[in-house]
């Protein structure tokens, strides 16, 4: 994982880069991110519990895969890369939305412009340091 993230304004215009830490300190700096929700053939969504060693939101339930867009990436390339790294699969991703997302975590938090993707898969193969539990 890279240390630099892409800073953007509310219209997704690039403002430059900043460290992951700076982007998540205090109210945070708006940056590009994504969320992938993986559904099985029954239409059930697979939720993932973030590993307890994660800096933000350790042990919290989340979408199947979440991550940041790094310099040199597009939303789609970052989502494809992290879906393989976090879930061990390469499904076809479908972009659904782009929305602002803010949340607070112990004085720090999220300030993201987040692309939402969906995908279909029956199984995923997460490495233990990324996801410590799955739930349909």
What pLDDT digit, counting tens, does each position of 115-129 carry? Answer: 999 999 998 888 777
pLDDT digits 0-9 by tens, 33-90 = 999 999 999 999 999 898 888 888 889 999 999 999 999 999 999 999 999 998 999 9
User: What pTM does this model have?
Assistant: 0.92
Q: What does the pLDDT look like over 80-91, one tens digit per residue?
A: 999 999 899 999
Instruction: Compute how many other C-beta atoms are within 10 angstroms of the C-beta atom of residue 20.
Output: 17
50's tokens: 């973030």
115 neighbors 80 (Cβ within 8 angstroms):
no
């Amino acid at each position: 994982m890279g240390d630099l993230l892409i800073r953007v304004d509310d219209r997704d215009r690039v403002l430059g880069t900043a460290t992951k830490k700076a982007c998540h300190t205090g109210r945070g700096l708006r940056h590009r991110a994504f969320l992938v929700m993986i559904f099985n053939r029954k239409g059930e969504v697979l939720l993932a519990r973030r590993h307890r060693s994660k800096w933000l939101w350790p042990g919290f339930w989340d979408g199947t895969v979440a991550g940041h867009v790094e310099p040199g990436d597009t939303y789609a390339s970052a989502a494809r890369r992290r879906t393989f790294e976090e879930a061990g699969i390469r499904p076809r991703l479908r972009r659904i939305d782009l929305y602002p997302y803010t949340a607070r975590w112990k004085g720090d938090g999220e300030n993201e412009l987040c692309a939402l993707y969906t995908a279909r898969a029956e199984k995923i193969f997460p490495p233990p340091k990324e996801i410590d539990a799955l739930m349909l």
